[in-house]
Each structure stands twice: as C-alpha cells, then as structure tokens.
Amino acid sequence: MDKFDRLTGVAAPFMEDNINTDAIMPTAWIIEVGSDWGRGLFGNLRRDRHGRDMDSFVLNQPRYRASKFLVAGRNFGCGSSREEAVWALVGFGIRCVIAPSFSDIFYDNAFKNGLFPLVLPLPDVQRIAAEVAAPEKTELTVDLQHCSLLTPTGSQCKFELDDSRRLPLLEGRDDVGRTLAMAALIDAFQRTDCHRRPWIYRSQ
C-alpha cells in the first residue's frame, strides 16, 4: 500500500451518523465494478436507479469530486465486516475519514488497507465539517509524523495514535509486508524450533 506521511487535499462534509458498510459499498456494486472499486463508492446514494450521478450527493458536487478526506458522523462503517467498503473509499481517492467514532471492524480494516480513520471529538468534527462546507476553502492537511490536523481556517487539532497503527501507515506496509520484513526472524525461529520439536515438522 502507499505510504501515508502528510496528506493535503479537499475534504467533503458528510455528517450522517451510522453509515454502514452496505451504504459505503452496496452489494450489487461489488459485482458491477470489477476492480474499479471507487466507482461503487456510495453507489446507491451517488446515483439514481438509472445509474446517473445525482447532483445532490456531496461527492458529485464539482468542488468535492477530488476529495481526499471525508468528514463523517458517528459510528461510521458499522454493519457487516465488508472490507470492500474500505477498498471503495481508497479507490475513489479518499485516504482519510474523520469521524467521532468508527465501527471496530471497519477501523481495523482501514489501517490494513492504507486508509486513516481519524477519531476526533464530536465538536471538533462538527467544526471541521462546517469549515469545509464554507465556500472559501475546503482543504485539510494531516501530518502523521507529528499527529496533527490543520483546518482551512488555520486551526490545528492534535491527536494521539498508537505506533502499532501509525508506523505501518508511515512505512506503507500492510500485514503481508510486515510479515515479509520479518522473514529472517521467522526462518531463524523455524530452524531452532525444528530441532526442539521435530515431530511437528514434515521430514525432508
């Protein structure tokens, strides 16, 4: 996955609570989109029954079409453990979702796929949503090295993130990448363990 260090980009306000994974990536769109996951993002909300974009949906509005951030309501990503919901957000170009809370499974899946789910207090999220909805500026900057977020008006929000979450994003390493990075340690353990417990290894 791509490294995540410092991200500056347009932020779209979408302050709905309890947006579930089926709304983020509807089942029908999983089959429809092939490998173009971003095309299915909010498929039933972005498009009408004829497949045409609806101007009323925030990500269809010209100023938000290239959004890299989504500012969302409480309990974002609830519902089923549909990893395609994260793929759809990343496929669209969104690398950071800011919300007061996330579903636990969605939160874990996000980090595994290079999406940063940033938890901030509700009043801060509401203020940020209001700022990016204003006509003047819509860009945010998140700095993962220094754990800070800069809003369009110049306000700074500090946040905390455990290194077990932060470092894989900074390094661009998913679970497979982190395992491969420890290949030498794994091989050394297996060689030692083979002598200690030979009965669990196949004979060569």
165 & 187 share domain: no
Distance CA 106, CA 82 (A): 8
What the block records as the tokens of 189 is 């353990």
Contact 101, 78 (CB under 8 A): no
178 & 167 share domain: no
Say how far residue 134 (Cα) sits from the centre of its chain: 24
SS (H, E, C) 111-155: HHCCCEEEECCHHHHHHHHHHHHCCCCCEEEEECCCCEEECCCCC
Strand, coil or helix: 204: coil
- The verdict on residue 71 lying in a domain is yes
154 & 79 share domain: yes
56 & 148 share domain: yes
Q: Given this model, what pLDDT does residue 56 score?
A: 94
Cα torsion 77, 91, 112, 128 to 10°: value is -50
Q: Given this model, what pLDDT does residue 76 score?
A: 98
- What's the domain range around 75? 6-173
Q: Given this model, what pLDDT does residue 174 score?
A: 72
Q: Given this model, what pLDDT does residue 124 score?
A: 97
pLDDT in tens, the chain (204 residues): 888 999 999 999 999 999 999 999 999 888 877 788 999 999 999 998 888 999 999 999 999 999 999 999 999 999 999 999 999 999 999 999 999 999 999 999 999 999 999 999 999 999 999 999 998 888 999 999 999 999 999 999 999 999 999 999 999 877 777 777 778 888 889 888 988 898 888 765
Which of 34, 35, 148 has its CA nearest to residue 140?
148
Q: Look up the CATH number of the domain holding residue 30.
A: 3.20.19.10
125 & 187 share domain: no
* Global pTM value: 0.86
54 & 116 share domain: yes
144 & 67 share domain: yes
188 & 159 share domain: no
Helix (H) or strand (E) holding 98: strand 96-99
77 & 168 share domain: yes
Distance CA 133, CA 89 (A): 20
Q: Given this model, what pLDDT does residue 203 score?
A: 64
Distance CA 106, CA 83 (A): 7
49 & 25 share domain: yes
The count of structural domains within the chain is 2
